[in-house]
Structure 1
Amino acid sequence: MKLRGQYRSTILAMLLLATVINYIDRSALSIAMPFITHDYHLTAGEKGVIFGAFSIGYAAFNFLGGYFSDRFGGRRVLSWSMTGWSIACGLTAAVSGFWSMLLLRIMFGMGEGPNAATANKVVNTWFPINERASAAGIGQSGGPIGGALAGPIVGFLALAFGWRAAFIVMGLLGVGWVVAWRRLSTETPAQHPRVGQAELAQIDAGQEPLRPGKNEKVSIREVVTTRSVLTTGISLFCYNYILFFFITWFPSYLVDARHISLKDMSLVSSLPWITGAIGYMSGGFIVDAIYRRTGRRMMSRKIVLVTSFLISAGCIALTGIVDQVWTAVTVMTVAIGFLMLAGPAYWAIIQDSVPRHQVGTASGFMHGLANCSGIVGPVVTGFLIQSTGSFVSAFILAGAVGLIGSLILACFVNSKEQVAAPAPA
């Protein structure tokens, strides 16, 4: 992926930063939850409902955000999204108990919902075919980077200034990103004065042309009934079940089940995110390297995704039954690294499955379907822990869900496409 001297590297850097902020904001509640529980005496069931409430708004606006990005443009929708969730994040500092936190968490999810699908639309607009998985991988690697930073940043702010201060600081950071994004980006490369003809030729090579303001009508029915889109969405549901289980419950697991201090939890919980960032970046490059060598787009996506997802599912189940806390952290770190390695392939599969004018809608539908797991998973986990008094069954269930997700994609997404000439390096 050769971006030196190319303006699309600036766009990619902004997408990366947006996702970093997204995941710090998203993870902030999990990190701050032990502090919030101390103030409001929340039960495990109530915490599970609050964690799950995020995905009520998030899943709905995954789809709507992707659809709007096809209609109004990725640049505009990404601006709306960041502004909305930053305001909701800042307002979290004003909650007074369970119900106000529940409402704001739904609003927060609505704001964050469009981010991933809209970013995938921007990648499709700004990057050539043989760079898409790498670009998606780098951009989405901001998730685990943000997750790794969330523990130290939110933990420090909560310990030093109170947990409310952390949410105010992160809200202001998001608003600052929006100002920079509006100044640095345009809807298409052709509209940007710093994008030269040589770069435009690279981006457009082998792709159907973009027609700003004249896009074909997006057929939602056509998108929803595409087998690869539906199957990939179901598989991503299983992927996100593990991800939301980790985001929402792993910090509490370390404190409640492994009895480490809040200060140590803030640092230890960041370790899996570090390997996750490496995994997400590596996954995109590996997918594109296989594609350039073989010319088989779908095969390059599936081989990385299925293998990595299977390893991750096994490690997740193992985490719940090992004896030592550092062994559990190590196994979880490996699990999240391989989970993130699989991530870029999902976004690449969607881009390969539909025409360019439907990429935002398809991405949003897939992501919305997938994030229904964020409603179900944290709530099921909370009541499972409350009824059994242990985290073991929750870890084993998450591993089983991951196994199902990898096998569904392996069996039902078609990889028998015509072999093309190897893609240009």
Structure 2
Amino acid sequence: SLNPSELEYIKQGGGLVLMGEDKNNTQQKKKTSFADIKQLLSSRMLLGIFIAQYCINCLTYFFLTWFPVYLVKERHMTILQAGFAAVAPALCGFIGGILGGLVSDRLIKMNHSVTFARKLPIILGLFLSTSIVICNYVESHTAIIFFMSLAFFGKGFGSLGWAVMSDVAPKEMIGLSGGLFNTFGNTAGIVIPIVIGYIISSTGSFNNALVFVGIHAVIALLCYLFMVGKIERFQLKTTTP
């Protein structure tokens, strides 16, 4: 068991040490109301995180749905070639995801603020993700795979959304906050494949589709730069039933 000084140290670092311990606490027992949900959606910080997650997932769903088609239809690879080529971005995204988390944790151990430690990898990663647009200006298959891999590496490196949510979610509504975060993110899985398909159908090319994806990376970057602000736990205001 932890002694009081250890508990205090954890609390000073932002840890929630009493979740579920006091069953008689009225705040713990209060039912979630629409006013509480409205508070979450009215928070500039949380809304910025939610919008950014939607935009980040735009890249994910492009690679999951349209990337192989892009390689075959636009770059005239065989299906076998496209299958092998699609491995590289996925592998780079995997590596980027691990490195982004390691860098963020390392920055905190170096006594940087949580805001800096979370935002720096996210912003750098999203900046790298914009390199997907460069594919419109290169012809070789090697260059295409390189820039696609760089873009997905950046997406992985900057995918610290759940780490950020653990830092900001109000202690009374961690589950609901995470649910809203997932809702915004997974909405991209519905919208993005359809919109990209419409763009390709309308223009006859993937060029504008890649620009569309790159713009989403820029929007996510701008959300973290100018909308999210300081990363700190959101405090719910007391609402009357």
Band of TM-score, shorter chain: 0.7 to 0.9
Name structure 2 gaps, 5 residues minimum.
233-241
Tell me by how many angstroms 1:334 deviates: 0.8
* CA distances 1:339-378 after superposition (whole Å, capped 9, x unpaired): 110002x212222212334222112212212332222211
- Measure, in 2, the Cα distance between the counterparts of 1:416 and 1:229: 9
Q: Are 2:206 and 1:401 aligned? A: no
* 1:213 CA drift (Å): 9.5
Structure 1: 5+ residue runs without aligned partners? 1-196, 418-425
TM-score with structure 1 setting the length: 0.47
CA deviation string 1:154-183 (max 9, x = no partner): xxxxxxxxxxxxxxxxxxxxxxxxxxxxxx
How far did 1:295 drift? Answer: 4.5
Q: Determine if the alignment matches structure 1 residue 343 to structure 2 residue 163.
A: no
CA contact (8 A) 2:167 2:231 kept: no
Q: Which deviations, in whole Å up to 9, do the C-alpha atoms of 1:106-141 show, x marking residues without a partner?
A: xxxxxxxxxxxxxxxxxxxxxxxxxxxxxxxxxxxx
Q: Does the 8 Å CA contact 2:114/2:231 hold for their aligned counterparts?
A: no
CA distance, structure 1, for counterparts of residue 70 and residue 21 of structure 2:
49
Matched, 1:211 2:20: yes
How high is the sequence identity, in percent, across the aligned residues? 27
Q: TM-score, normalised by structure 2?
A: 0.81
Does 2:193 align with 1:378?
Answer: yes
Q: What residue in structure 2 maps to residue 94 of structure 1?
A: none
AA matched with 1:374: G
Among 267, 284, 300, the alignment partner of 2:101 is 284
Change (3 A) 1:213 1:221: farther
> For residue 176 of structure 2, what is the aligned residue in structure 1?
361
> CA distance change for structure 1 residues 310 and 413 in 2, over 3 Å: closer, same or farther?
same
Matches within 5 A, 1:284-363: 284-313=101-130, 315-344=131-160, 346-363=161-178
Q: Does structure 1 conserve the Cα–Cα contact (< 8 Å) formed by 2:164 and 2:231?
A: no
Judge conservation of contact 1:312–1:336 (CA < 8 Å) in 2: yes
Shift of 1:227: 2.1
Question: What residue in structure 1 maps to residue 91 of structure 2?
Answer: 274
SS at the partner of 2:46?
helix
Query: After the TM superposition, which parts of structure 1 deviate over 3 Å for at least 4 consecutive aligned residues?
Result: 212-219
Equivalences for residues 17-416 of structure 1 within 5 A = 197=1, 205-206=10-11, 207-208=15-16, 209-211=18-20, 214=23, 215-217=28-30, 218=32, 219-313=36-130, 315-344=131-160, 346-415=161-230
Give the structure 1 partner of residue 239 of structure 2.
none
Are the structure 2 counterparts of residues 401 and 416 from structure 1 closer, same or farther at C-alpha, using a change threshold of 3 Å?
Answer: closer
> Cα gap change, 1:378/1:416 in structure 2, threshold over 3 Å: closer, same or farther?
closer
Aligned pairs, number: 216
The 1:325/1:213 distance shift into structure 2, 3 A limit, reads: farther
Q: Secondary structure at the match of 1:259?
A: coil
Structure with bigger RCO (C-alpha 8 Å, 6+ apart): 2
SS across alignment from 1:414: coil
